[in-house]
Structure 1
Amino acid sequence: MQYFTSDTHFFHEQLLGMSDFAPRPFANVEEMNNTIIDNWNKTVGENDIVYHLGDIAMLHTRPAKAAYEQIFEVLDQLNGRLVLIKGNHDSRDLFKYLEHYNHSVGDGMKFEFHDVGALIKMNHRQYYLTHYPMMMGIVKQIINLHGHIHHYAVPIKEDINVGIDSPELDYLGEKVPFGTPLSSAQIEKIVEQKEIDFAKRK
């Protein structure tokens, strides 16, 4: 199975609380981190692939290696193999640290890394997986899955925000437990429902 997520922002204390930008009603980062880990692992299996579209964590512990150790410990608790696409809050030094401690999981390695994005084919469509939303214009059968903008959505039907704060999760018509990566079937439903929504606006 393939799953998709973005903007977990593990350890990011400044995001805690209710806001229009990134509503996260948790008492502390430990509660937030554990909620994401628990909900993730209830859905994702060991051999599943999760595309994480950036902004993994925000932790400014010094020295930086101490922060990377804590982030690795969290990521290593997550089921599945993680394809990590670099977000604006992710450093190449973090990726180098994770690469150094990379290890085999199921049929592959725990981590795979992309600086800019990835292109995959799924259900007769191409998906550009990026951290930042892309303005591609009208391109048939190409969807941009992205994060970065938290509780906002791009007013283009081909752009889908897969972040854990995304308002576009409402297109599913069901509550997604906080931090749960989205399955390919859920992505398809969001794509279809957003297209229907935009057709009604004309």
Structure 2
Amino acid sequence: MALFFTADTHFGDHRTINIHRRPFATVAAMDEALVAGWNAVVGPGDTVWHLGDVARRPADVPGLLARLHGVKHLLRGNNDPPATGEAAGWSSVGDYAELEVDGRSLVLCHYPFRSWNGQHRRAINLHGHSHGKLKPILRQFDVGVDAHGFRPVSLAQLLSDD
């Protein structure tokens, strides 16, 4: 079982194609590419932390979650109304999380932090929100789909790119 991170899928949101210059002709093409990319790397027994901004319409979320592999956790973003978190298919829903993974401390939130718990003890901050446009700082990684080929990313992949 592997662990993955992602953010800013914005399923069903036509504005994201234009604002963030995503290479898709239509929302349907974007959504299908996001589902295919997710399922290409995530297996049914894997775990995914989605760091917010899931979909334009909360009513679409249960169907999307049913199509996506893995055990899914949500940390809400600024575009996630309460109904997104209430959708069937999430294993947990919150705003912030701290995890220990392979001896590393991780601090997860939709938003990037200027400083975070354990930062000076080598803790890593994983975030979304900036769509790959924020200049990274030491031990801080944007896990959003715009920065990772429109698919979830593992911690090993993030650390190998560092």
Length-normalised TM-score, structure 2: 0.90
Secondary structure of 1:139's aligned partner: helix
Look up the equivalent residue of 1:182 and give its one-letter code: V
Equivalent of residue 48 in structure 2, options 31, 47, 50? 50
Task: Confirm whether residue 121 of structure 1 aligns to residue 97 of structure 2.
Answer: no
Which residue is equivalent to 1:199?
A: none
What displacement does 1:135 show?
1.6
The letter of the residue matching 1:121 is E
SS at match of 2:107: strand
Which moved further from structure 2: 77-86 or 146-155? 146-155
- TM-score with structure 1 setting the length: 0.73
List structure 1 runs of 4+ shifted beyond 2 angstroms.
Answer: 112-115
Instruction: Tell me by how many angstroms 1:188 deviates.
Output: 2.1
Distance in 2, matches of 1:126 and 1:51, equals 15
Instruction: Give deviations 1:66-96, integer Å, cap 9, x for gaps.
Output: x51x222122100001111100000112212
2:61 alignment partner, one of 61, 71, 75: 71
Matches within 5 A, 1:24-39: 24-39=22-37
CA contact (8 A) 1:16 1:23 kept: yes
Query: Per-residue deviation at 1:139?
Result: 1.6
The 1-side partners of 2:22 and 2:76 are apart by 22
Q: Supply the distance in 1 between the matched residues of 2:46 and 2:94 (Cα, whole angstroms).
A: 22
State the shift of 1:29 in Å.
Answer: 0.7
SS at match of 2:63: helix
Give the secondary-structure state (helix, strand or coil) at the position aligned to 1:129. strand
1:121 Cα shift?
Answer: 1.1
Length, aligned pairs only: 159
Q: Secondary structure at the match of 2:38?
A: helix
Q: Percent identity?
A: 33
CA positional deviation for 1:155:
4.0
The aligned residue for residue 72 of structure 2 is 82
State the shift of 1:115 in Å. 2.5
Amino acid at match of 2:131: H
Q: Is the 8 A contact 1:153 1:160 kept in 2?
A: no
The residue aligned with 1:164 is 145
151-160 or 76-85, which moves further after superposition? 151-160
How is 1:48-197 mapped onto 2 (pairs within 5 angstroms)? Answer: 48-59=46-57, 67-68=58-59, 70-96=60-86, 98=87, 101-102=88-89, 111-136=90-115, 138-166=119-147, 169=148, 178-190=149-161, 193=162
Equivalent AA in structure 2 for residue 151 of structure 1: G
In the alignment, which residue of structure 2 is the partner of 1:174? Answer: none
Query: What do the CA deviations read for 1:7-55 (whole angstroms, capped 9, x no partner)?
Result: 00001101214x5xx2211111110000010111111110100010000
Q: Residues 38 and 152 of structure 2 are in contact (CA less than 8 Å); yes or no, is this contact kept in structure 1?
A: yes
**Max Rg structure:** 1
Q: CA–CA distance in 2 between the matches of 1:187 and 1:147?
A: 13
